[in-house]
Amino acid sequence: MLRNPLQLRLEKCETWQHVSFMAALVERMYPNYALYCAQTEFADPQAFRNILDAVWESQTVKGAKIDFERQLEKLEPLIPALTDDAIYITYPAIDACAALSHLLHALLDRDEMLTITLKVSQQSVMSVAQLEEAQTGDAVTDENQKANEAVCDEWDAQWAIFRVLKSADTRDVEMLKGIRQELREAGVSNLGLSL
């Protein structure tokens, strides 16, 4: 596990901040999934997008009633299988699905919110670390991660999202819509891949 002071700061967040933080990280992982679908014709990435949009809706539409159990059921067939001849982008696509699954589970079991938020944060940074390891052959560890620009960029992105969320005393719907829109328009994944 790669450690960062951000993990301690997340402990002091409210539920809506945890959910929004995770949704933002999944939003950053979505291009990996969409590119996998485009390369393999595995599934329609819009189905993944719809589930993620339902999560955002739960945070931005007052009184929104989302059946998160049903959303989990919809996610199941969208998860790529890992085969011996899998192309590299399969791994980040699976990571994106795992992160979205974790997020949905957090919404179903709010007692696990912090644990799952930390897991999604770690999932996103480990996707980056694994790509770096695949490219360089060098393992990214807690001790050497500060020397890895891509891993540092991922932590910086997570800090930026955290700071915006932490700056609000209460759930600010327009701020959340702005975060979602900015990440969606950027269209760049945590791995630096563009749609």
- Spatial CA neighbour of 94 closest among 109, 121, 76, 115: 76
Which alpha helices (DSSP H) does 3-89 contain, by range? 6-10, 15-40, 45-60, 68-75
Q: Per-residue pLDDT for 155 more than 90?
A: yes
User: In which band, very low, low, confident or very high, does the pLDDT at 192 lie, cut at 50, 70 and 90?
Assistant: very high
- CA-based torsion, 128, 131, 135, 141: positive or negative: positive
Interatomic CA distance for residues 125 and 141, integer angstroms: 12
Model confidence pLDDT, tens digit, residues 94-152: 999 999 999 999 999 999 999 999 999 999 999 999 999 999 999 999 999 999 999 99
Q: What is the pLDDT of residue 167?
A: 96
Q: Which helix (H) or strand (E) holds 195?
A: none
Q: Which two tokens stand for residue 98?
A: 């795992």
Q: What is the pLDDT of residue 11?
A: 94
What radius of gyration do the chain's Cα atoms show? Answer: 16
Cα 46 to its chain centre, rounded Å, is 16
Cβ atoms of 105 and 72 within 8 Å: the answer is: yes
Q: Which two tokens stand for residue 1?
A: 């596990």
Q: Per-residue pLDDT for 195 more than 90?
A: no
Q: Per-residue pLDDT for 49 more than 90?
A: yes
Q: What is the pLDDT of residue 111?
A: 95
Interatomic CA distance for residues 157 and 77, integer angstroms: 30
Cα Dmax for the chain: 49
Q: What is the pLDDT of residue 54?
A: 98
Model confidence pLDDT, tens digit, residues 64-74: 999 999 999 99
DSSP summary character for residue 188: B
Q: What is the pLDDT of residue 93?
A: 97
DSSP character string of 112-134? GHHHHHHHHHHHHHHHHHHHHHH
Model confidence pLDDT, tens digit, residues 5-48: 999 999 999 999 999 999 999 999 999 999 999 999 999 999 99
Q: Output 1 or 142, whichever has higher pLDDT.
A: 142
Residue with token string 């990440």: 183
Cβ atoms of 91 and 3 within 8 Å: the answer is: no
Three-state DSSP class for 103? helix
